[in-house]
Amino acid sequence: MQHVVVIGSQWGDEGKGKIVDWLSDRADVVVRFQGGHNAGHTLVIDGVTYKLALLPSGIVREDKISVIGNGVVVDPQALLREIEAVEKLGVKVTPDNLKIAENACLILPVHPQLDAAAEALRGSEKIGTTGRGIGPAYEDKIARRAIRVCDLEDEDVLKYKINRMLSHHNALLEASGLEPFTAEALLDVLRDVAPKILPFAQPVWRLLQEYKQSGKRILFEGAQGAMLDNDFGTYPYVTSSNTHSGTAASGAGLGPNALNYILGITKAYTTRVGSGPFPTELQDEVGQRLGERGHEFGTNTGRKRRCGWFDAVMVRQAIKISGIHGIAFTKLDVLDGFEELKICVGYRLNGEVLDYLPASEKAQTEVEPIYETLPGWSDSTFGARSWADLPARAVKYIRRVEELIECPVALLSTSPKREDTILVRDPFAIG
């Protein structure tokens, strides 16, 4: 039975939420496998807008099972607020349709404070985090001092682990001139959330094995994008987890042999939130036009996104690293009305032409894009549901992108609405 992994092929914000929602109609189980509540996914269904962060996109469908895997760092208070918000929109969330990995690590109130302190200490070299404590929570996980979902069952364990954690973190907070946390304050929070979170806790790895063996189709939903990967992204301006496709296996507890098809969500132009290199960034009226037409503001943070031309070099690199089989091309309609469009086909660095983005932070900052210019189109692509509805020049643009990134288009999204999607190749039907 086919299982599909969905990841972003750029710097996130590619429109993964809508595509995952569309694919979840064909899936039985939808799994989040990395990241935290810093990554927002927006779904527009029957005129209702759902803004999700921790909850998998499949939660809005009654007959699907949603899973938060061990690779996700979970802010229990944020999760409970999100559950409350979607329930007000008519979505039922119960232990029957939501499972949380018992070995997932928690984000505690101390972590956002640490995030803010670290960013303040960086001064002008801020990474541009969302300030939600994602990074510090992952640091605790790697340093083996994290508190996990399963720890909520035993208050004695919580007391011991909280004291051990705070002995480390309070030193940094005091050095930054911030008020240290008390163990009792954190314990009060966890006492409150424990009975509300524990009913969802499960050995998710075991459940996924059962789902796989029983023939259920599993959809793995990634957060952020490939170029924010902690190893292969624009380091240090990256997220604190691995965002490439292989993380779906380690972040959910299902072996890599279950990852049958990798779909890369790819925006028709390029955006980025926060600091870091951006070779094709446009700081002119064209960039402003892309931002305004694309409504480029963060789902969760409201932060304005930086905009630029499509970078085929970067996307091709992400495709190779993640083994992407096909892309879902999104926001093509934002390019409607441009007289000409540019695609980055290479970089120039110190007189040398490169066909990849180098790892060095200095080199990433200094590369200059080499552009190829294509004619734009005046007709609208918004809401198109077949290739016949697309202007010839739009089709030509798509075909040229396919050639440059060396990967075919599997899906084409022409609006935020679920039904405005052109299916080229069904990821769940490709063996």
Question: For the residues 177-197, what does the mean pLDDT come to?
Answer: 93
Question: For the residues 370-392, what does the mean pLDDT come to?
Answer: 96
pLDDT digits (tens, 9 = 90+) for 278-318: 999 999 999 999 999 998 976 555 678 999 999 999 999 99
Q: Mean pLDDT for the chain?
A: 92
Q: What is the DSSP letter of 72?
A: B
**Residue 90: is it exposed, middle or buried by C-beta count within 10 angstroms (0-12/13-18/19+)?**
exposed
Residues 6+ positions from 47 with CB-CB distance below 8 Å: none
| DSSP alpha helix (H) spans, 252-405 | 285-293, 312-322, 361-366, 392-405
Point out which residues pair with 389 in neighbouring strands.
none
Task: Report how far residue 181's alpha carbon sits from residue 111's, in angstroms, rounded to the nearest whole number.
Answer: 11
pLDDT at 149: 98
Is 13 considered catalytic here? yes
pTM: 0.92
Short-list 248, 263, 264, CA closest to 212:
248
pLDDT tier, 121 (very low <50, low <70, confident <90, very high otherwise): low
pLDDT exceeds 80 at position 119: no
pLDDT tier, 42 (very low <50, low <70, confident <90, very high otherwise): confident
pLDDT exceeds 90 at position 57: no
pLDDT tier, 236 (very low <50, low <70, confident <90, very high otherwise): very high
pLDDT exceeds 70 at position 5: yes
Q: Do the Cβ atoms of 210 and 11 come closer than 8 Å?
A: no
pLDDT tier, 69 (very low <50, low <70, confident <90, very high otherwise): very high
Residues 6+ positions from 107 with CB-CB distance below 8 Å: 36, 37, 73, 74, 75, 76, 78, 132, 133, 134, 137
pLDDT over 90 for what percent of the chain? 77
Question: For the residues 342-349, what does the mean pLDDT come to?
Answer: 98
**Residue 246: is it exposed, middle or buried by C-beta count within 10 angstroms (0-12/13-18/19+)?**
middle
Catalytic residue among 3, 21, 37, 41: 41
pLDDT at 125: 63
pLDDT exceeds 70 at position 243: yes
pLDDT at 175: 79
Catalytic residue among 13, 140, 229, 333: 13
CB atoms within 10 A of CB 298: 17
pLDDT digits (tens, 9 = 90+) for 145-160: 999 999 999 999 999 9
Q: What is the DSSP letter of 68?
A: E
pLDDT digits (tens, 9 = 90+) for 387-423: 999 999 999 999 999 999 999 999 999 998 888 999 9
Is 41 considered catalytic here? yes
Point out which residues pair with 411 in neighbouring strands.
328, 423
Point out which residues pair with 412 in neighbouring strands.
329, 422
Report how far apart, in Å, the C-alpha atoms of 289 and of each of 272, 285, 295, 331 are. 15, 6, 10, 14
Q: HSE (CB half, 13 Å, CA atoms) of 120?
A: 12
pLDDT at 233: 96
DSSP code string of 299-330: TTT-PBPEEE-EEHHHHHHHHHHHT--EEEEE
pLDDT at 368: 98
pLDDT tier, 25 (very low <50, low <70, confident <90, very high otherwise): confident
pLDDT at 172: 82
pLDDT digits (tens, 9 = 90+) for 157-184: 999 999 999 999 998 888 778 888 999 9
Task: Report how far residue 164's alpha carbon sits from residue 150's, in angstroms, rounded to the nearest whole number.
Answer: 17
pLDDT tier, 41 (very low <50, low <70, confident <90, very high otherwise): confident
